[in-house]
């Protein structure tokens, strides 16, 4: 099996002083060398990034969260500094990557956060292995039961999925659409040229392109038909907070149908925010994560 290591030289350009305590390590998962950033100690907290990004999207939150938790930020296979190949981009396999990483790190149970690709991975992981996850925060996407009460935006708003699945082999289209998503999906603030380059440079490699095309083709060919047939059988046992930016085009496409399928789930909108919640509203998100992950207050004496 051919694997390719994403460009590690980009890591040298990330010099933020706030990330001085971050450790970069690798674990062998499903035959691939998977990169993860780690900081702090205590109860484990896993942060799963979205597309077209990598672990660095959590840079504003790693330091504050590491004061309380052992923060672990993996790079999805094929993205960032993780190896990838042409397989393994089903939601099931990506979720298994997370659980396998937990096993490799001797983590029996963790809190979990996932945005975009990390959202679908996190939902699948919590549905399959609820005993492994204390609580889950899903961000910037739809939930598994959106076909119950479906609206038109669910079908046409994520148009990039269809384009990348069909035409991702076109270098100009792939690179142009990747850059456009970083510009157009953000509502509050903007990515600087340096930030944009930190994300785009790994995306130019063949491993990232393969991952992008394979993931989006899998969504169309496998995941949508599978969820259409089986979503009524899915029961979410893990307490879950689902966050969407109030200005994210996907936010209006999320119906309240999850209430019939989840034991304990809340849907909230993040004010003045688009698709990149950890970078657009990091202070708001930090407060919300802190409150959601805090242990319940004990009985008064």
pLDDT at 28 over 60: yes
Each residue's pLDDT tens digit, 143-174: 999 888 777 666 667 778 888 888 778 888 88
Residue 3: pLDDT band by 50, 70, 90 thresholds? very low
pLDDT at 301 over 50: no
- Please report the pLDDT score of residue 18 as a whole number: 61
CB 187 within 8 A of CB 281: no
**What integer best gives the mean pLDDT of the chain?**
90
Each residue's pLDDT tens digit, 179-231: 999 999 999 999 999 999 999 999 999 999 999 999 999 999 999 899 889 99
Residue 15: pLDDT band by 50, 70, 90 thresholds? low
pLDDT at 299 over 80: no
Q: Which domains does the chain have, with CATH numbers?
A: 8-293 (3.40.50.1820)
- Please report the pLDDT score of residue 1 as a whole number: 34
Lowest mean pLDDT across 37-51, 148-162, 203-217, 235-249? 148-162
d(CA 236, CA 225): 20
pTM reported for the whole predicted model: 0.92
- Give Cα 107 to chain centroid, integer Å: 19
Strands (E) in the chain, as ranges, are 23-29, 32-39, 43-48, 69-74, 110-115, 133-139, 240-245, 265-270
Give the CA angle between residues 161, 219, 247 to the nearest 5°: 50
For tokens 């956060």, the residue is 113
Each residue's pLDDT tens digit, 56-110: 999 999 999 999 999 999 999 999 999 998 889 999 999 999 999 999 999 999 9
For the segment 287-293, the average pLDDT, to the nearest whole number, is 97
- SS3 of 265, please? strand
pLDDT at 274 over 90: yes
For the segment 23-37, the average pLDDT, to the nearest whole number, is 96
Question: In the chain, pLDDT over 90 holds for what percent of residues?
Answer: 75
């Amino acid at each position: 099996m051919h694997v390719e290591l994403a460009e590690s030289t980009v890591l040298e350009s990330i010099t933020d002083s706030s990330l001085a305590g971050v450790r970069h390590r690798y674990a062998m998962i499903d035959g691939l060398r998977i990169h993860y950033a780690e900081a702090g100690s205590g109860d484990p907290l896993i942060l799963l990034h979205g597309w077209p990004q990598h672990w660095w999207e959590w840079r504003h939150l790693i330091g504050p969260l590491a004061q309380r938790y052992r923060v672990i930020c993996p790079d999805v296979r094929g993205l960032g500094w993780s190896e990838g190949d042409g397989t393994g981009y089903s939601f099931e396999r990506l979720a298994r990557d997370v659980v396998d990483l937990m096993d490799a790190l001797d983590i029996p149970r963790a809190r979990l956060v996932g945005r975009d690709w990390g959202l679908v991975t996190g939902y699948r992981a919590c549905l399959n292995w609820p005993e492994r996850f204390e609580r889950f925060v899903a961000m910037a996407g739809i939930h598994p039961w959106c076909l119950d009460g479906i609206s038109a935006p669910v079908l046409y708003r994520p148009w990039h999925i269809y384009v990348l699945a069909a035409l991702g082999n076109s270098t100009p289209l792939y690179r142009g659409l990747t850059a456009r998503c970083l510009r157009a999906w953000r509502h509050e603030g903007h990515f600087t040229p340096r930030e944009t380059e930190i994300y785009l440079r790994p995306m130019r490699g063949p491993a990232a392109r393969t991952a992008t095309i394979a993931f989006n083709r899998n969504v169309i060919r496998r995941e949508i038909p599978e969820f259409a047939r089986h979503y009524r059988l899915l029961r979410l046992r893990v307490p879950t907070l689902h966050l969407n930016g109030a200005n994210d085009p996907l936010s209006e496409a999320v119906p309240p149908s999850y209430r019939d399928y989840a034991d304990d789930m809340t849907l909230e909108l993040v004010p003045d925010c688009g698709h990149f919640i950890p970078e657009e509203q990091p202070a708001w998100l930090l407060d919300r994560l802190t409150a959601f992950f805090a242990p319940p207050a004990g009985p008064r004496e």
